[in-house]
Structure 1
Amino acid sequence: MTERNTLCASRRQHLQWLLGSSLAWAAPWALAQTNASQGRLVLVFLRGAYDGLSALVPHGDADYYRMRPNIAIPAPDGSANTALQLDLQFGLHPALAPLLPLWQQGLLAAIPCAGSPDATRSHFDAQHHWETGIPGNSSASPGWLNTLSGQTQAKAIGVGEANPQILGGPQAVQLVPKGEAATRKGALGDNRTRDAVMRLYSGDDALSQTFRAGAASRTQTADMLTQAPSMDARMDAVMQAANNGAGSVKGLAQDAQHLGTLMRANPQLRLGFLSAGGWDTHANQGAVTGTLANNLGALAEALVVLRREFNRRDDVVLVVSEFGRTSAENGTRGSDHGHGNALWLLGNRVQGGRWHGQWSGLASGNLHEGRDLPVHHDFRAVFAQVLRATQGSSSAQLDALFPGFVWDARLDGVMHRA
């Protein structure tokens, strides 16, 4: 009995992995899938809902310029202050210029209308859904990267945040918090802190309602931002809450380098997580220059570092955010909480140099609730494509990671076959 108790945890984990991989014994193709490679996966989470319509610029859509008279990125004309043309429909924000060679080399791809099928505009809930892989369910659940670690026997590591939900669960993970996160237990991932913030904004006042609903009304947001200075502290708290424990994007390149160094030193570390806050641009978002442009420039620098560090055959970097932003600018030259968004993939196995999936344009009849990009592709279906190609995840394992997701055959070309 003593020996049995000693080995209980490890045997249970092993049994769970065997059960999750049961299809490997069912058919030869499944065996090939589950024994695929030692590829490394890095997820970069942009907390606060970044504006994909400024990063992946739909310059071929006239409605884009009609809806964003002050914050739209000018159509490509070859100058430094316009979008960098990718094709006749899309371009890159000029601050993302360091990524253009990766696109041209076929290593970088985008899915313009990806996201969660749940339409919440709450940062807390949406981020929880992405990190647990269960849209619409905000109850306690393990993070899907933690579950993937148990399935693949790959170790997971997070750099920057003290306690990201995506890495939470029964599997041991390595966490390397830095800066303010290192001195705070769990940041907003801590239940007491999260509950306190939610109580702070549980009232019926305009700001509390906007915080919970994601600034559904542009006029309401504009009014709040121009009220007395006494509102400033609470508004700053809203922005910080959207970051949910993530540090500034200015430190993301350093975090990326740190992650690469640690994962290179320990081959068992094959699942990595990074995050950056500061993307909740309700006011003074800017266009070619400004707050968002500065953030995108820092993101580009970090992705160049990640490409240098993670360039093996099956290494993939994913860049995601909890939801997008409104298609139209608001009254304070910013954008409010939206729905669908651009998701990025980087790696040798990615069918890069192109965008994938469905794009239906910005005509009002094609928008979610008449204001946001729709979610044409469930984020879990994107992840499933990557995991099947690079981690050898079986159908049973994907179902365990992402309960209720449906395989999206429209994305079958996003990854090169082995």
Structure 2
Amino acid sequence: MARVATVRAAVAVAALLLAVRSAAPNDLPVPHTDVWAPLSALAPTAPPPGLHLESVSSYSFSGGDNIAVYGRPGDVLHGRLVSALYHASAEWAGAQPHGGRPLRGGPAEAEIGGTAPHRWITWPVRPFGATEPVFYGVLGRGLSDGELIRAANALVQNGPRPTIGSEGVPRDLRPLASGGMGLWEMSPTAGTTLTWSDRRSGAKLALTLVRHTPRTEALMGALSPGTPRLMRGVPGAAGPPPFAESYDRTPTARVWREKDTLAVLHAEGVPEEDVDALVKSLREVNARGLARIRATVTAYPARKLLDPGLRLAASGRTATGVWAMGVKEREDDVQVSLRSVGGDYTFSEDFDADPDDLRDAIAIVGGVGFSPNRHAPVGAVRSDVASLKIERQPGRRPSTVALGPPSVPGGRRWFAIAEGVDPFSAVFIAYDAKGHILGRMTIF
């Protein structure tokens, strides 16, 4: 009986698609929304248990995944909504939402999915001459599949700024806002974000704060969770966000307005009680207080930057950040990972090295390029090297490179210059315990 019901539902969906496919969409203007940083910031009295502050960023950039939101004014966090979506990706298969099923009779390769109250339809488009594929779609909250299908068939592909034609927008909804967003991270294109994490376990919590306006709230309402909840004395929304099936572990989210600030919290691998405790402990901080909080990034445990199975081969701290190098050494291959938080530049890079290439006194296995004259090299020295120095850096004195502990097998020691060197002039010189030179090397 369940299979018969499924077949009947599929036939009904296909018939509805055929009925609306020929409708010519009439574009419905949607006001563009600029997102601004908040006038005040919120921060907790203590970080979430087991997590560490990895960044505090105040940012504003153009781009993101553009959305256009249609809903009920004054009820954007809980009421019925439908949004037009656009997302560009170099790899369509890795970018589309998970958990969907083919939608027969819809746009080519369309899939429908989601968990109530959120439902979505997405499909890939490969514009002629485009360097990367994109997908368009619609996301609904509190809508029936039929309403969502009508919206999908009325979507107007205005390049990266899609809209939904008037015949696809339910009669009780009207245009509210459009603008750039990070669909998966629930992240707007401006604001202040505090991020805590345990990179080793994969747990993460990000609190984004933006200046509140009705249009900004409409943008965030499109991606907010679906359960109404009173938070900090004001109505908000809590629970899994849209596209929750796309994560390795079920995420949780919170969205609420506080004075002139709209707060958006997104967490993975964090117990609900810890999320709620953090929300409850938030307090308003000024610029000086936020700077003090930002300075605690340097306390991030280096070992927690690395994936399980990697040995901490070297680590260090800069004035504003922490970095760690992890190594897995085998007879026929050496895997090297370089990770950092905070700092002027953050990086997450992986390298492979042949053990035979590590027999010289000095070996550079990779690096991170910040600019043409600034490069963060990653390498190792042989077991008989007692010290490693860098010379011929313009405007700098010769300096000694910090080496990690000896490894097994081989006894080699690893290093990274996270602050960067000039790759065209830096000379690495390896010395033995008596001060004799064992080798010299340049990057380029």
Q: TM-score, normalised by structure 2?
A: 0.24
Say which one has the larger Rg.
2
Higher helix fraction: Structure 1 or Structure 2? 1
Higher strand fraction: Structure 1 or Structure 2? 2
Structure with more contact order per residue of length (Cα contacts < 8 Å, sep ≥ 6)? 1
